[in-house]
Chain A
Amino acid sequence: MKPPSQIRRFLRHPSGAVGLALLLFFVAMALAAPYLFPQGPYKMVARPMLWPGQNPDLLLGTDSLGRDLLVSVVYGARVSLLVGLSAALASAIVGAAVGLVSGYFGGWIGDMLMRITDAFQTLPSFLAAILIVGLIGPSIGTIVTSIALVSWPMVARLVRAEVLRIKTLDFVQACRIMGMPDWRIMLAEILPNSLGPIIVATSLLVANAIIIESGLSFLGLGDPNMMSWGGVIGNGRSALRMAWYITMIPAGAVVLTVLALNLIGDALNDVLNPRLRKG
Chain B
Amino acid sequence: MSLTDTSARRAPAARLALPPWARFLLGRLGQAFLVMALVVIGNFVIMQMAPGDLVTVIAGGADMTQEQMADLRARFGLDLPLLVQFWNYVAQLLTFDLGYSYRMNAPVWEVLSARLPTTAALVVLSLLFSVTIGTVMGVVSARRAGTLTDMGINAVALVLYAAPSFVVAMLLVLVFSVKLGWFPIAGLTTVSAGYTGWALVKDMAAHLVMPVTALCTFYVAIYARLARSTMLEVMDQDYVRTARAKGLSETRVIYVHTLRNALLPIVTMAGLQVSTVLGGAVVVETVFGLPGMARTAYDAVFQRDTTMLLGVMFVSSLAIVIVNLAVDLLYTVLDPRVSLK
A129–B173 Cα gap in the complex (Å)?
26
B259 CB to nearest chain A CB (Å): 16
Of the four ranges (under 10, 10 to 19, 20 to 34, 35 or more), the interface on chain A belongs to 35 or more
Partner of B232, one of A122, A259, A279: A279
Does the CB pair A218–B166 fall under 8 Å? Answer: yes
B291 CB to nearest chain A CB (Å): 17
Q: Which of A57-65, A169-177, A195-203, A236-244 is found at the contact surface with chain B?
A: A236-244
Q: Which of B150-198 contact A (CB under 8 A)?
A: 158-159, 161-167, 170-171, 173-174, 178
B43 contacts which chain A residues (CB < 8 A)?
131
Does the CB pair B313–A221 fall under 8 Å? Answer: no
- CB contact under 8 A between A137 and B51, given known A244-B178, A263-B158: yes
- B301 to A, closest residue via Cβ: A134
Partner of A127, one of B158, B306, B312: B312
Tell me if A178 counts as interface (CB < 8 A to partner B).
no
- CB contact under 8 A between A130 and B35, given known A122-B320, A214-B164, A215-B164: no
Tell me if B39 counts as interface (CB < 8 A to partner A).
yes
Binding site of A, secondary structure by majority: helix, strand, loop or mixed?
A: helix
- CB contact under 8 A between A215 and B306, given known A119-B34, A124-B317, A127-B316: no
B163 CB to nearest chain A CB (Å): 5
A116 contacts which chain B residues (CB < 8 A)?
34, 38
Interface 0/1 of B38-70, CB less than 8 Å to A: 110011001101110000000000000000000
Q: Which of A5-13, A183-191, A246-254 is found at the contact surface with chain B?
A: A246-254
Q: How many residues of B contact A (CB 8 A)?
A: 61
A57–B232 Cα gap in the complex (Å)?
53
B301 contacts which chain A residues (CB < 8 A)?
130, 134-135, 219, 221
Binding site of B, secondary structure by majority: helix, strand, loop or mixed?
A: helix
A263–B161 Cα gap in the complex (Å)?
11
A220–B303 Cα gap in the complex (Å)?
13
Partner of A278, one of B35, B158, B167, B232: B232
Tell me if A161 counts as interface (CB < 8 A to partner B).
no
Does the CB pair A262–B167 fall under 8 Å? Answer: no
- CB contact under 8 A between A248 and B229, given known A130-B298, A219-B286: no
Does the CB pair A119–B174 fall under 8 Å? Answer: no
B272 contacts which chain A residues (CB < 8 A)?
121
Interface 0/1 of A127-144, CB less than 8 Å to B: 111111011110000000
> 9 A-B pairs, CB-CB below 8 angstroms?
A125-B276, A127-B316, A135-B46, A135-B49, A136-B51, A215-B165, A254-B167, A259-B162, A262-B162
Interface residues of chain B, those whose CB is within 8 Å of chain A, are: 30-31, 34-35, 37-39, 42-43, 46-47, 49-51, 142, 145, 158-159, 161-167, 170-171, 173-174, 178, 228-229, 232-233, 236, 272, 275-276, 278-280, 282-283, 286-287, 294, 297-298, 300-302, 306, 309-310, 312-313, 316-317, 320-321, 324
